[in-house]
Chain A
């Protein structure tokens, strides 16, 4: 992994200062490859955290009720919990996992991203606090699919 990173760095723009990737980084694609190909939210969650038991509290998930354009759906997750990781799943696309954030020590959980969804589905955000999962989910109606639809 390190070696590949190093080679890749050489290809990047020369003018920008480079930072080696794996400082304290956890690449969930490398450590939990199964979670990224899981097609069901439950399966992805199990692959990632080893459990699907969640408590629906402490997590705020913001997403539109109706998304006219499935290609750009703003989703934001915020929480006051001292979570270590935050994961976003949805059940409309072929695979369930959208993104997994690693919260650095003392980090603030307030993330916004834009995602795409093929059809109407439920977006689920999970915050991991010492192995206990807190979640929030929301149904997003998609009128025009954004995933090659």
Chain B
């Protein structure tokens, strides 16, 4: 199961716009790759970011994201907030990570 590793998150605020760069650790095995490697297909299916309980970013993803997917997004927000990034995978694994907005 534990395909989902640690995520690295950087959140920086500039003039009221927070830019988040995040990199998750996950092999992102598509069905084809999994068949070759004789493993079960597994990939991140849903990523959501919240600040103080408010959703600021959300994406449903497929197997065609790169291995160890990287993403960048922006939203309106100030310094000091706490960003929560939660991820879910096809095999039902769930993890969430937090980072302070700098």
Contact = CB atoms under 8 A, between A and B. Distances in A.
A116 interface: yes
A34 interface: no
Contacts of B95: 12-13, 16
Contacts, number: 144
B46 interface: yes
Interface residues of A, number: 49
A108 B94 contact: no
Contacts of A117: 64
Interface string A52-73: 0000000000000000000111
A102 B58 contact: yes
Residue among A19, A36, A94 with max Cβ neighbours from chain B (10 Å): A19
Given A23-B55, A73-B66, A16 B61 contact: no
B96 to A, nearest CB: 6
A50 to B, nearest CB: 17
B36 A148 contact: yes
Interface in B45-100: 45-46, 48, 50, 53-67, 69-76, 84, 86, 88, 92-98
A147 B45 CA distance: 17
A23 B86 CA distance: 12
Nearest to B36: A148
A122 to B, nearest CB: 14
20 contacts: A5-B94, A8-B92, A8-B94, A12-B96, A16-B96, A21-B88, A25-B58, A27-B46, A36-B62, A99-B60, A100-B59, A101-B57, A104-B56, A108-B74, A110-B73, A113-B65, A113-B72, A116-B28, A147-B64, A148-B32
Interface of A: 4-5, 8-9, 11-13, 16-19, 21, 23-29, 36, 71-73, 76, 90, 93-95, 97-102, 104, 106-108, 110-117, 146-148
Interface of B: 1, 17, 28, 30-33, 35-36, 45-46, 48, 50, 53-67, 69-76, 84, 86, 88, 92-98
